[in-house]
């Protein structure tokens, strides 16, 4: 089961994923590192609509508030968001 966490800003999910990866490593991410994110994310293709962080595990590194805000991919809100904002993965464009 994949869950998601919504953000208002288009760059926030990517930024949070970077923060979580550094937290998991216990140090700053090396500038030449291949891996720089813990989780994938999607963002709106429109100028508004924000972004979502995709969480495929238990979200152990998330804050308690973030854990409480997690929703299941595929729920009605997810479908509406993807359709309304034509959300895409940054890496793949899908």
Domain-embedded: residue 94: no
Report the distance separating Cα 38 and Cα 27, nearest Å: 14
| Mean pLDDT (the chain, rounded) | 91
Averaged pLDDT for residues 44-57 = 93
pTM above 0.85, yes or no: yes
Sheet holding 88-89, edge to edge: 71-72, 3-7, 51-55, 40-43, 88-89
Q: How many independent structural domains does the chain possess? A: 1
The domain containing residue 27 runs over which residues?
3-89
Q: Is the pLDDT of residue 41 over 50?
A: yes
User: At residue 90, does pLDDT exceed 70?
Assistant: no
Does some domain include residue 70? yes
Is residue 69 included in any domain, yes or no?
yes
**83 belongs to a structural domain:** yes
Q: Per residue in 26-39, pLDDT tens?
A: 999 998 999 999 99
């Amino acid at each position: 089961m994949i869950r998601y966490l919504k953000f208002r800003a288009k760059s926030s999910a990517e930024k949070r994923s970077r923060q979580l990866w550094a937290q998991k490593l216990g140090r700053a991410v090396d500038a030449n590192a291949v891996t720089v994110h813990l989780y994938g994310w999607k963002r709106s293709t429109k100028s508004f609509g924000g972004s979502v962080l995709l969480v495929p595990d238990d979200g152990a590194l998330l804050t308690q508030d973030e854990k409480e805000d997690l929703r299941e991919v595929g729920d009605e809100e997810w479908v509406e968001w993807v359709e309304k904002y034509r959300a895409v993965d940054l890496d793949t464009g899908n």
